[in-house]
Amino acid sequence: FDSVSSPLAFLAGKVPECCPTAKMNLFQSVTSALDNTLASDPTAVIFGEDVAFGGVFRCTVGLRDKYGKDRVFNTPLCEQGIVGFGIGAAVAGATAIAEIQFADYIYPAFDQIVNEAAKYRYRSGNLFDCGNLTIRAPWGCVGHGSLYHSQSPEAFFAHCPGIKVVIPRGPVQCKGLLLSCIADQNPCIFFEPKILYRAAVEQVPTEAYTIPLSQAEVIQEGSDVTLVAWGTQIHVLREVANMAQEKLGVSCELIDLQTILPWDTETVCKSVAKTGRLLISHEAPITGGFAAEISSTVQEECFLNLEAPIARVCGYDTPFPHIFEPFYIPDKWKCFDAVKKLISY
């Protein structure tokens, strides 16, 4: 993953000019967002396995000591219990921030998320809701996580109306999008790319700020190919865009989707109408992955604009491997090869 260790300044986007900034990596930006929330919202509580001492990725370090054990506390190793408790706390009026220690272990809580949290407002006719619930989880491959610590389960939740699913690409986006999720009046799942936790630092505002949900960001404008991804894969496609320009003279437009559900169809379709070509890449298996939804929508909306079939470069339809991870992940060489095929079609 040489791409992940590259400087991220060009990917940071517009840093909000709301206050002083400090150098933060991604896990520190999570801590900062949670700190801002606990300070400004007396109803906010943070809970999950090991969060009291800081969590396995150190995202909640110091928060229990600063705000007390009644507001930042450990739970049993029971994901359905964590989310069930979060639903109850949110319904009772608290701002509930639940942590699932790894996204791979969110599946025991699937029923609570999909059948309870997502449908709570709908089934009560808007009399009751658990919109103050935010579920955080480390997500994606990390270089050595294998089948139980490297999964990307966003597509499972994208099939479920009533929740929002968000994935940031760096520290600036992480803090702004997380605070937007916490403030949003719908239950949100916030997946944090674990390989990026310590990858690089950016200047992140120390005070609270938000980045709108359901708005994709055009990171780099181009005219020949549209590249769409989210989270870690954005950094891979950034290298692909540079390689395509240097080696092929091909201009790539790079889009960070940011919100998986509800996603920004307008920005993506507008770009494809301009370039006529689309490549979507994610780490999750290709069959039923969210790239399929994007591909279907773009085909319906931009059929007459397409100059080549839509390309998907994704993980394989196997459990996530350990020693074969370098062959499994959609790296820059696979994506670059797809760009060449799109151009020569």
- For the annotated catalytic residues, the residue numbers are 79, 149
Cα–Cα distance, 74 to 46 (Å, whole number): 9
Orientation angle between helical segments 265-275 and 290-302, nearest 10 degrees: 60
Partners of 23 in beta bridges: 203
237 Ramachandran zone, left/alpha/beta (phi>0; psi -120 to 50)? alpha
- Pick from 308, 259, 317, 255: nearest CA to 288: 317
Which token pair is 220? 């780099």
CA 46 to chain centre: 20
- Strand 21-24 to strand 202-205: parallel, antiparallel, or no bridges (unpaired)? antiparallel
Cα–Cα distance, 86 to 94 (Å, whole number): 9
E strand or H helix that includes residue 261: strand 259-261
What's phi and psi for 324, nearest 5 deg?
A: -100, 15
Cα-Cα-Cα-Cα torsion 178, 182, 186, 188, nearest 10 degrees, comes to 40
CB under 8 Å to 106, separation ≥6 — which residues?
A: 79, 100, 113, 135, 137, 153
CB under 8 Å to 76, separation ≥6 — which residues?
A: 49
Amino acid at 14: K
Are 86 and 98 in contact, with CB atoms under 8 Å apart? Answer: yes
Cα–Cα distance, 231 to 67 (Å, whole number): 30
Residue with the two structure tokens 């400087």: 7
